[in-house]
Amino acid sequence: MAPYRLRMHHIPVFFAITISLTWLIVNNVLPVVFPPWEWDKRGSIAQRVRNESQGQENHGVTVVEQGISNQHGNRPEFGHNRGGNVHTAPRCNTTVAILLQSLLPGLDWREYKQFVDQFKQHSAQFKSGEKLKSLHLKCPRQKCDVHVLVTVEARYLNGSDAIIVNMHPLHMKEKHPKLLPHLREVLNPKIHWFFYGVESPQMMTFWDQSVGEILYHHSITYHSEADIELLAAKYSPNHPERVTSTERDWSASKTGMIAWMASNCKYTFWPRLEFVSELKRYVPVDIFGKCGSAQCFPVFDAFAKNCTRVMERYKFYLSLENSECDEYITRKVWENALAAGAVPVVYGGRKETYQRLLPPKSFIHIGDFNSIEALAAYLQLLHSNNSLYNTYHAWRKFGRLETGQYPPLDSQLFCKVVPFTAAPPPQFKVVKNSGYFKGCRSLPGVFAKKASLKSFVPWK
Ligand SMILES: *[C@@H]1O[C@H](CO)[C@@H](O)[C@H](O)[C@H]1NC(C)=O
Ligand SMILES: *[C@@H]1O[C@H](CO)[C@@H](O)[C@H](O)[C@H]1NC(C)=O
Ligand SMILES: *[C@@H]1O[C@H](CO)[C@@H](O)[C@H](O)[C@H]1NC(C)=O
Ligand SMILES: *[C@@H]1O[C@H](CO)[C@@H](O)[C@H](O)[C@H]1NC(C)=O
Ligand SMILES: *[C@@H]1O[C@H](CO)[C@@H](O)[C@H](O)[C@H]1NC(C)=O
């Protein structure tokens, strides 16, 4: 057979083939398959990451940043195990393990619902009822691929760059005290240990008394001291939503006075339900969710668009946390109150921490009142005087809300772990000495008794 000779008229053909192939790959028509997991050969990933992170910002390595221009900007993309993504030599590979036996569907913790869904959608290794193994994640911003595993097995953990502990304390309740010291003993000391805390330390210690003893290198909590902060939203001053010359009357179109929505009626660290019931004796409070009879649909989904819209009709929204811990400010303050145009009546942390985090003069802290009756009288005053009520909305002329990534198990979280693994891990810290842990009024967590409303004095 005559050897092939390149001729001029072949060049356009090559060109066309190359373009077509590239198009097919870029558009996920032709998959580039991830090689199977090679568990035992991955010891040097951390080293490679470290080498790559030294200096060179972009050494000719291409990461296809799919989706980077979508509306979510920097949000990462999930790779598909079935091979959906173009994968031209990513800059680094980071393996993040979540210390859990498995991530089963139906695990009753709200953060996990979405997380499990993401696993389901993006990991071919997920089949209903089976244990989850890994989730491939692209982090364009960090120029890295992240593999998320869910495991307690030492041989898999040992190949990880980072291990996240305490994602589901309830699940690990009895196991933490024995398992953690053992793992620290047998695993590679180069592994970075992350402590995760989305619930308050009061709830955590109620679940697992030993939580304060957990050692970690980096923290992922809602507290401002955390290495990776779990923010539901934040206030951004100097950037008003829109500039209007006319004063808006925020009390217009409000048909209700006070709304409260909760699904946890009993398990709180201060007598929350009793507090609301007492308040209801003086002023009308519509209670949505499991603790009352008012309804929005879908029922119990406090963050369904419909329910948030219902809150727009109220002048006030009770944003009462289940715990008395500084900075433990959950999403409802932002979404059901501030974003919905209702003034939040808050309690959880001390007033000072709310002042630091929420827009100026945007909320009412129950610690400012000597009695529930006095609080009710103040709400009544605002209710009857629109110009007074509108002063709680004045901040809107100067700043805006920025909603964060929520739920906290958004994939972005795992991308944020990447930069920490570039250097050797620092000294271990212990949870009980953290700002997160010390930020509570009392510990360990003990649920409030019904009768305790009589002796309840808000934390100021
Ligand atoms: C990392 O860099 C060091 C020297 O800078 C080199 O000896 C080592 O082989 C590199 N490791 C990897 C995994 O590339
Ligand atoms: C990333 O990790 C996978 C799985 O260990 C491996 O097959 C792949 O070659 C790695 N990619 C790079 C660029 O290191
Ligand atoms: C984990 O890796 C380290 C370092 O490679 C090794 O010394 C250790 O024996 C391994 N432990 C397990 C349980 O595989
Ligand atoms: C939202 O509310 C409207 C009426 O208020 C109702 O028709 C609709 O079914 C609700 N949507 C959901 C998802 O429940
Ligand atoms: C409402 O409050 C403002 C500001 O405190 C006050 O000037 C005004 O007189 C009040 N209006 C009524 C009707 O009480």
Q: How far is the CA of 424 from the centre of ligand 1 (A)?
A: 14
CB 383 within 8 A of CB 128: no
pLDDT, greater one: 3 or 241: 241
Tell me what the pLDDT averaged over the chain comes to.
79
Closest CA to 412 of 286, 230, 279: 230
* The two three-digit tokens of residue 352, written as one number: 């000072």
Which ligand 5 atom lies nearest to the CA of residue 385?
A: 1
Q: Note if the bond before 444 is cis, omega within 30 degrees.
A: yes
Q: Is the CB of 182 under 6 A from ligand 3?
A: no
Question: What confidence category does residue 135 fall into, taking pLDDT thresholds of 50, 70 and 90?
Answer: confident
Q: Is the CB of 48 under 6 A from ligand 1?
A: yes
Q: How far is the CA of 193 from the centre of ligand 3 (A)?
A: 16
Give the model's pLDDT for residue 293. Answer: 87
Q: Could you identify the residue written with the tokens 């079935």?
A: 82
Please state, for a pLDDT cut of 90, what percent of the chain lies above it: 48
pLDDT digits (tens, 9 = 90+) for 359-373: 999 999 999 999 999
Q: How far is the CA of 202 from the centre of ligand 3 (A)?
A: 35
Q: Is the CB of 42 under 6 A from ligand 2?
A: yes
- Shortest-distance Cα residue to atom 14 of ligand 1: 48
CB 96 within 8 A of CB 149: yes
Pocket (CB within 6 angstroms of ligand 5): 385, 387-388
Radius of gyration of the chain (CA): 26
Q: Could you identify the residue written with the tokens 């979405």?
A: 114
What DSSP state is assigned to residue 217?
S
Query: Of the residues 52, 81, 145, 147, which should be mutated to test ligand 2's pocket, given the most ligand atoms within 8 Å of the CB?
Result: 145
CA of residue 238 relative to chain centroid, distance: 25
CA of residue 117 relative to chain centroid, distance: 15
Q: Could you identify the residue written with the tokens 């901040």?
A: 395
Closest CA to 201 of 380, 427, 420, 441: 441
Does 84 score more than 60 pLDDT? no
Average pLDDT over residues 77-86: 40
Give the model's pLDDT for residue 20. Answer: 61
Cα separation of the two ends of the chain: 91
Does 1 score more than 60 pLDDT? no
CB 61 within 8 A of CB 91: yes
Q: Could you identify the residue written with the tokens 């955590």?
A: 204
How many CA atoms lie within 13 Å of 395's alpha carbon, on the beta-carbon side?
18
Give the model's pLDDT for residue 87. Answer: 46
Beta-carbon count within 10 A of 387 CB: 10
pLDDT digits (tens, 9 = 90+) for 338-352: 999 999 999 999 999
CA of residue 196 relative to chain centroid, distance: 10
